[in-house]
Structure 1
Amino acid sequence: MKIKNLLIAFIVLISNNLIAQNDAISAFLLKWENSKNYLIEIADAMPEESYNFKPIERQMSFKEQLLHIRTNMVWLSETYFMNENFTKTGKINPTTKKEIIEELTITFNKVSKIINQTSLDDLTTKVDFFAGSKSKLQILNLLQDHVTHHRGQLIVYLNLNNITPPKYSGW
């Protein structure tokens, strides 16, 4: 009887994990954690003395790219999932590589907490966005897409500095 109960408990556990990976929030949070780890590895790979590197004048520097990613995460998560008015007055200005990486980590974790407290039903809620009415699910996808977009640029920056980027980890 004990083996049967253990087997049932195991099947329920596996089923719950599979179901959790198939809902939008759980899938996002799993990907978000990997995205955080990958971006931190990229930020760590660039030597601090190269944080002001930019391929051409019109582009953001490596440091500016990282801070832009962070600001966008704060804006999207707080404005559209917490209904707070985003102002740049609370903008931080870390100066060292270590401070930037710490702020990125804190912000990724804060976004995780905010999204974890969001109900699946709330993802269908429409919000006013500068590009027109969007669902919160679309904003959730934008959170990840924006990080991915700028992370790709950072990988190019590493390559231009003859630094091998960290190995990609999708999941």
Structure 2
Amino acid sequence: MRTQLTFVLFFISLYGNAQNPSVLAFSEKWDNSKNYLLEIAKSLPEEKYSYKPTEREMSFKEQLLHIKQNMDWLGKAYFNAEIQEEDLKNIDKQALIEALTHSFDSVKEAVLKTEESVFNEKIDFFAGEKTKWQILNLLQDHVTHHRGQLIVYLNLNNIKPPKYVGW
């Protein structure tokens, strides 16, 4: 019994905000978003990672890198996510998938550690004053936006996208 209580207290100290319904909803959606994006990333053969539908578009690989860089920036800047700077120019498919996994997990961990009162704080953002709740929404919306583009890339390469995973 004492061991269980110690574990519970330890978990609460690490993830004190883990019982907030909005944070729990974000956490579940974030995990599903991560798994879905990783399935998409795995679906395209590495030799097609440079594919882009038009010259003005990012390549498949560039889209994935852009998603990762945005998560890293928002996670570090607004939730103190522990993410190391990496040189990703010559990263291969497997290493990119691992880097994406790490970014998703680091953001989730940082959000779970964020005190509930912090989410309502207003911050200066390039698009105007926002709360950290709005930054969480932006994180998810950004992934969803670019993931939708990646699904089109798969279809244009005659690759059936993985089955959609929502909430």
TM-score bracket, normalised by the shorter chain, equals 0.7 to 0.9
> How much does 1:132 deviate?
0.7
* Structure 1 runs not aligned, ≥5 long: 1-19
Which residue identity lines up with residue 109 of structure 1 in the other structure?
D
> How much does 1:90 deviate?
2.6
Match for 1:148 among 144, 148, 154?
A: 144
Deviates more, 1:22-31 or 1:38-47: 22-31
- Where in structure 2 are the equivalents of 1:1-171 lying within 5 Å? 20=19, 23-82=21-80, 90-93=85-88, 94-171=90-167
Which residue identity lines up with residue 117 of structure 1 in the other structure?
K
* Structure 2 runs not aligned, ≥5 long: 1-18
> How much does 1:24 deviate?
1.4
Moved over 2 A (4+): 89-92
In 1, are the aligned partners of 2:120 and 2:133 still within 8 Å (CA)? yes
Seen in structure 2, the aligned counterparts of structure 1 residues 116 and 50 have a Cα distance that, compared at 3 Å, is same
- Give per-residue Cα distances to partners, 1:63-120, cap 9 Å, x unaligned: 0000000000000011012299x9xx93431521101100000110001110010122
Alpha-carbon separation, structure 1, partners of 2:87 and 2:72 = 11
- Aligned-residue Cα RMSD (Å) equals 2.1
Q: What percent identity do the matched residue pairs reach?
A: 59
TM-score normalised by length of structure 2:
0.84
Alpha-carbon separation, structure 2, partners of 1:23 and 1:92 = 37
The total of aligned residue pairs comes to: 149
* 1:122 counterpart SS class: helix
Which residue identity lines up with residue 134 of structure 1 in the other structure?
K
